[in-house]
Amino acid sequence: MVRYIIRRLLWVIVLLFLVSFITFFIFYQFPSADPAQLRAGRQPNPQLVEQIRHNLGLDRPWPVQYFDYMKRLVLHFDFGYSYQNNISVRHQIFDRLPATASLAIGAAVVWLLIGLSVGIISAVRRRTVIDRVAMGGALVAISAPVYWLGLVALYLFSSDIGKFHVFKGAGSYVPFSQDPSLWFQSLIMPWFVLAAAFAAFYARLLRGNLIEVMSEDYIRTARAKGLSERRVILRHGVRSAITPIVTAAGLDLGILLGGAILTESVFNIPGVGRLAYDSIQNSDLPVIQGTVLLGAFFIITANLIVDIIYAFIDPRVRYS
């Protein structure tokens, strides 16, 4: 197990280097806008644009810029400075990371609780009214785009513009360190909106796997031994059927920790996803590079954690 983890950690480093190189290459080979011209404002003086380009180091060959960037990153964990406001990218990312982590982890708890519960009930009571209603609702939740669902939730339940003043509206995010109660209230709606499609997908996935598992021979053997139906389902059936759920949950959480752009935009949450969107709009390469590397790190790390969890969930999995 230890040797396997070391090998995977070495691959994490290689993949992060590869991601950073691809990001640099795409930015310079397919530029959407000139960062120096954007920073100079409307109708800028050409000499001013050239001066800004020189100050930002954009007049040097991109391999030289990439080498300098990686040297600062590896030696000093320095992501550079934003082209737009000359603020440290590392500080911007870590200032916004708690908001994104709060949104992603809270939504993951919601969708796992709802998705697993609905999936188990639907599998145990398949072809009943409960099953048909649950799967019909899951289909609706999967089909509803996050931004549309968020706007509908704000229209109905927001405390400022909603028809029913139940939850805090957009732009009301409060950091946990400032007020835990307001933090929780400001994230209830974003959590459920973000979790809706994931919960529906997990419910359908677990239902299908659990129905298949419950027809296996070892399930019949467990029942023949006199075990209670509850123990047979939870201890033997769900444990075998939940492996794909662990894979999906790890990857989905890793992706969201890199930034839930649509949800953060709809609810005006100052997270990493919103930072990435603004940096793309402004062709701010250092910020783009930092957010991309952060997302890649979380996805790769989540994948590694999922592989390790497999060994504890499924006794058949062994790493040597």
Contact call for residues 108 and 191 (beta carbons, < 8 A) = no
CA distances from 26 to 13, 29, 40, 47, 62 (A): 20, 5, 23, 27, 11
pLDDT score of 320: 57
Taking only the tens place, the pLDDT of each residue in 222-253 is: 888 888 888 888 888 888 888 888 888 888 88
pLDDT score of 31: 64
Sequence-ordered alpha helix ranges (H) in the chain: 2-29, 35-40, 46-56, 62-76, 89-124, 129-143, 146-157, 180-213, 217-224, 229-231, 239-241, 243-257, 261-266, 272-281, 285-313
CA distances from 59 to 32, 125, 154 (A): 17, 66, 46
CATH of domain 97-313: 1.10.3720.10
pLDDT score of 195: 92
- What is the residue whose two structure tokens read 């409960």? 130
pLDDT score of 20: 85
pLDDT score of 229: 84
pLDDT score of 316: 60
Residues of the chain predicted below pLDDT 50: none
Note the pTM of the prediction, 2 decimals.
0.84
pLDDT score of 190: 92
Among 29, 27, 34, which Cα is nearest to 83's? 34
pLDDT score of 245: 87
pLDDT score of 184: 92
pLDDT score of 83: 80
pLDDT score of 193: 92
Q: How far is 289 from 267, CA to CA, in rounded Å?
A: 25
> DSSP secondary structure string, 131-191?
HHHHHHHHHHHHHS-HHHHHHHHHHHHBTTT-SS--B--TT----TTT-HHHHHHHHHHHH
Contact call for residues 88 and 81 (beta carbons, < 8 A) = yes
Q: Is residue 242 helix, strand or coil?
A: coil
pLDDT score of 117: 92
pLDDT score of 80: 83
pLDDT score of 10: 85
Among 298, 227, 287, 277, which Cα is nearest to 56's? 287
Cβ count within 10 A of residue 197? 18
pLDDT score of 203: 92
